[in-house]
Amino acid sequence: MPDLITEEIVHVKGYPKKLVVFLHGYIDCSEAIDKSIALLIDNLDDVAVHIPQSPFVCEVHENKRQWYSMHRFDPNDDRKIVPTLDECVAYYDRMSPGYREAFDYINPYIDRCLEEYGLDDSDLYLCGFSQGAMLAIYISLMRGKKIGGCVSFSGILAPSTYLKKHIQSAPDMLLIHGDDDNLVRFGALEFTATGLREMGCRVETYVIPGGRHRITDDGLLTAASYISRKAAEKKAV
């Protein structure tokens, strides 16, 4: 697989003892997410934060990016409006080829970032928003070695059927979701937490009261505290 990711935003604070890789969402880009997560970066120490840019122009907005095509599998965005969560999950299950393709080019990028700082998987905290959150969960479960932790902002376990059969490791996870999310329904939080726990992951959740489909300050502070705590726990072992 060629090295497709050639654009990124990087923040280095102190002497990096942990790596945070944050994946932007669909119809999004690294520059926009960089501004959105400034509070997270400000509240982490001894860290390298990498915000890669997807190499693919978004199918619905030429100035934005996507990690994989959503319309290839759901051309009318029906996953957002179908009546039941089971129907919604079925749409994400259909997207399995997109997740596998994205994994094949994001995973080597993560390896390269770890090597740059002389860190290993236990020092890695994979985060993402929306489509990026879904990929963060997917990659965390499919990497051969257990990572330090994963933080999902407004994501869902997808494709759940494929992952339950092919999981490689079961890292700790923090799921952050608004209870008024207008794009990835709030029911995705319980579905994802339950599925991850069944796969052996230790899962924490944080609900944003009245939260829509966006990253909030309280969510970022919760994520920063979680990452710092997990890193301290590793150091204490």
Q: Which domains does the chain have, with CATH numbers?
A: 8-236 (3.40.50.1820)
What's the sign of the alpha-carbon dihedral 95, 58, 61, 6? Answer: positive
Long-range CB pairs of 33-42, under 8 A, 24+ apart, other chains included: 33/129, 33/132, 34/9, 36/129, 36/215, 37/215, 37/220, 39/217, 39/220, 39/221, 39/224, 40/127, 40/220, 40/221, 40/223, 40/224, 41/11, 41/13
pLDDT tens digits, 183-199: 999 999 999 999 999 99
Cut 0.95: pTM above it? yes
pLDDT tens digits, 195-232: 999 999 999 999 999 999 999 999 999 999 999 999 99
30 falls in which pLDDT band (50, 70, 90)?
very high
At residue 21, the pLDDT reads: 98
Say how far residue 31 (Cα) sits from the centre of its chain: 17
Angle at 98 between CA 203 and CA 189, to 5 degrees: 25
- Beta-carbon contacts of 1 under 8 Å, excluding residues fewer than 6 positions away, are 104, 105, 108
